């Protein structure tokens, strides 16, 4: 069997492309060398009679020739960073889902989350963003049963400061680490299915609408840490800033315990301290 027989079709295509590029590069190098030799001989032959003219022509050619673009191969030269403070502005928009850890499973259910923020690209490697996040989760049935209601939800919103460290800043596809901390507000809502009359053009009927009849709330600090994968769209000149990302974090909201308290006259309810989640986010950065 050939030594390259193990390669799949995409692998063979890549090898063929690499070989073609190498051949093209060698041919260009030889052509460039021949051109340079010819040009040197021509300049030497005419040097004694037109030295001043050649210098002026060379200066004009140098000033008229455009500079060769830097970088290549998917590298990021960060041209936008030299455009003043506006070029360093950073924005993020995303969302996804979150899963409670084993410690929090009895007190909070799975749900969704949305986030948005803005800040600055401090360097090619480090950005700093102020973030707003909203988390909407379900209320586990055991907590709803304690309070004597049909269901409920848990809402958490926060303002945090988050550094982002890009580990491969010169590549379009990279990995990064992030984290942060700040202010968190947690609200636990208890709901009953309230019967209401609904009518259409043809008939009327009874439907049930979840109605909040009690709640607990708390204000506290919290922190998160994690990382993700990003892909930067380079743009026509290699200076693009739009990045698609996917990340996961460990989030710890330092919420206090609630011991045998009655939300708005409902049955006494106990909820353990701490709210620990794993938010998974997808979105765009600029």
**pLDDT one-digit tens code per residue, 172-209:** 999 999 999 999 999 999 999 999 888 988 889 998 99
* Strand partners of residue 112: 97, 136
Cα–Cα distance, 169 to 51 (Å, whole number): 47
Cα–Cα distance, 85 to 87 (Å, whole number): 5
Task: Give the tokens for residue 74.
Answer: 């998917």
| Strand ranges for the chain from DSSP E | 89-100, 111-121, 126-138, 151-166, 173-199, 204-232, 243-253, 258-261, 269-271, 275-285
pLDDT (tens place) for every residue of the chain, 286 residues total: 433 343 344 444 334 444 444 444 444 444 444 444 444 444 444 444 444 444 444 444 444 444 444 444 444 444 444 458 888 999 999 999 999 998 888 999 999 999 999 999 999 899 999 999 999 999 999 999 999 999 999 999 999 999 999 999 989 999 999 999 999 999 999 999 999 888 988 889 998 999 999 999 999 999 999 999 999 997 777 678 899 999 999 999 999 999 999 999 999 999 999 999 999 999 999 9
Going from N- to C-terminal start, the domains of the chain cover: 9-64, 79-285
Scan for tokens 């041919």, then name that residue: 27
Q: How many residues does the chain have?
A: 286
Task: Give the tokens for residue 167.
Answer: 């580990």
End-to-end CA distance of the chain: 50
Cα–Cα distance, 192 to 54 (Å, whole number): 91
Region 79-285: CATH code: 2.40.160.20
pLDDT of residue 234: 78
pLDDT of residue 83: 59
* Cβ pair 271, 144 in contact under 8 A: no
């Amino acid at each position: 069997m050939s030594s390259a027989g193990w390669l799949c079709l995409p692998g063979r295509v890549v090898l063929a492309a690499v070989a073609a590029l190498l051949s093209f590069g060698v041919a260009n190098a030889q052509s460039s060398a021949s051109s340079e030799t010819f040009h040197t001989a021509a300049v030497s032959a005419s040097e004694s009679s037109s030295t001043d003219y050649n210098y002026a022509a060379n200066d004009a050619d140098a000033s008229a020739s455009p500079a060769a673009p830097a970088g290549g191969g998917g590298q990021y030269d960060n041209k936008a960073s030299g455009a003043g403070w506006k070029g360093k502005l950073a924005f993020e928009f995303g969302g996804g889902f979150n899963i409670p850890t084993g410690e929090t499973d009895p007190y909070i259910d799975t749900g969704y989350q949305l986030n948005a923020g803005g800040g600055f690209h401090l360097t090619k490697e480090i950005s700093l963003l102020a973030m707003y996040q909203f988390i909407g989760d379900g209320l586990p049935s055991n907590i709803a049963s304690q309070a004597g209601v049909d269901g409920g939800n848990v809402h958490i919103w926060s303002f945090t400061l988050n550094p982002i460290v890009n580990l491969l800043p010169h590549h379009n596809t990279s990995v990064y680490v992030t984290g942060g901390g700040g202010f968190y507000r947690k609200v636990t809502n208890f709901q009953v299915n309230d019967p209401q009359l609904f009518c259409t053009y043809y008939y009327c009927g009874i439907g049930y609408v979840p109605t909040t009849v009690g709640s607990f709330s708390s204000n506290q600090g919290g922190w998160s840490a994690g990382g993700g994968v990003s892909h930067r769209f380079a743009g026509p000149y290699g200076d693009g800033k739009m990045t698609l990302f996917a990340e996961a974090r460990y989030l710890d909201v330092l919420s206090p315990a609630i011991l045998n308290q009655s939300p708005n006259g409902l049955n006494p309810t106990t909820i353990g301290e701490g709210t620990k989640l794993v938010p998974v986010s997808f979105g765009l950065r600029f």
